[in-house]
Amino acid sequence: MSEQIISSTVKVAYQGERGAFSEAASHRLLGQNIRAVAHRTFEEMFDSVTRRAADCAVVPIENSLAGSVHKNYDLMLEHDLTIIAEADMRIVHNLIAPAGVEMSEVRRVYSHPVALAQCERFLRDHPQMEASPAYDTAGSVKMVVERRRTDEAAIAGRTAATVYGARLLAEGIEDDSLNFTRFLLICAPDRTPVIEASIKTAAASAERKTSIVFRSANSPGALFRAIAAFALRDINLTKIESRPIQGRPWEYSFYLDLIGDRTDLKVERALAHLSEMTESIRVLGSYSSAGALN
9-48 binders of a second copy (CB under 8 A): 41
Residue number, 96 or 115, with CB nearest to a second copy: 115
The one segment of 6-14, 61-69, 207-215, 277-285 that binds a second copy by CB under 8 A: 61-69
Count of residues engaged in binding a second copy, rule: CB under 8 A: 44
Q: How far is the CB of 228 from a second copy (least distance, A)?
A: 6
CA distance 24 to 111: 17
Residue number, 44 or 102, with CB nearest to a second copy: 44
Is residue 247 a contact residue for a second copy (CB under 8 A)? yes
The one segment of 31-39, 91-99, 223-231, 281-289 that binds a second copy by CB under 8 A: 223-231
Is residue 78 a contact residue for a second copy (CB under 8 A)? no
Question: How far from 206 is each of 71, 153, 262, CA to CA, in Å?
Answer: 29, 41, 15
Residues recognised as catalytic? 181, 183
Choose, by CB under 8 A, the member of 231, 272, 292, 293 that binds a second copy: 231
Is residue 172 a contact residue for a second copy (CB under 8 A)? no
Residue number, 9 or 236, with CB nearest to a second copy: 236
Is residue 234 a contact residue for a second copy (CB under 8 A)? yes
The contact set with a second copy (CB under 8 A) reads: 41, 62, 64-71, 112-113, 117, 120, 133-136, 178, 180, 218-221, 223-225, 227-228, 230-231, 234-244, 246-247
